[in-house]
Structure 1
């Protein structure tokens, strides 16, 4: 292909209703907690929701489903981060993914953990 005939690709972001990430970090090292700006805890829950405004709904569900502390909510990127003991974070992730799927019709991601 000559430099005059460069192939161009246009990418567009078309939001669907989905949970793109639902992950639990069990027993994070204190250094990780410090680096991301959260109190040291038993577990960290991380979710990414599309569209971004869904993060508000997800944060509401997660905060009611378990004794977790909401540490970060971004309605523009759809990211939420919360902390608590392992069982509370797991309960919050499970309930949030299930509710978004069953009640609001979001596609769900598997809940992963490290």
Structure 2
């Protein structure tokens, strides 16, 4: 490129309807909880959803299906974080993934664990 030419980059966001991550951290250490900004919990459930607005629906379903705390919802990135007892977090994520798949036609992610 010489001085008069400019490089132009165009980025497009093309959302698919999918749950890209559904992961449960069982028995997180206090240090991790502190760094993430949540109170000590038996488990942390993390989801990312595309399009991001699906995070609102996932958080709603998760909170209605189990006794969990919805600690974070970001409609721009599609991130949802829930905390609670291990069984409750597992049930909440499972209900959210199934509801997004069955009701809205999202492609589901397998729920993973550490």
Distance 2:28 2:64 in 1: 23
CA drift of 1:9 comes to 8.3
Q: Partners of 2:23 and 2:69 in 1: how far apart?
A: 16
In structure 2, list runs of 5 or more residues that go unmatched. Answer: 3-7
Q: Residues 80-106 of structure 1, C-alpha deviation per residue, up to 9 Å, x if partnerless?
A: 101000000000011110110011100
Match of 1:43 in 2: 43
Distance in 2, Cα, partners of 1:106 & 1:66: 21
The aligned residue for residue 82 of structure 1 is 82
Q: Which runs of 5+ in 1 are unaligned?
A: none
Cα distance in 2 for partners of 1:56, 1:105 equals: 16
| Aligned counterparts of 1:109 and 1:87: Cα–Cα separation in 2 | 19
Normalising to structure 2: TM-score of the pair?
0.90
CA–CA distance in structure 1, aligned partners of residues 9 and 35 of structure 2: 37
TM-score by length of 1: 0.90
Cα offset for 1:24?
0.2
Where does structure 1 differ by over 4 angstroms across 4 or more consecutive aligned residues? 8-11
**Partners in 2 of 1:98 and 1:77 — Cα distance?**
20
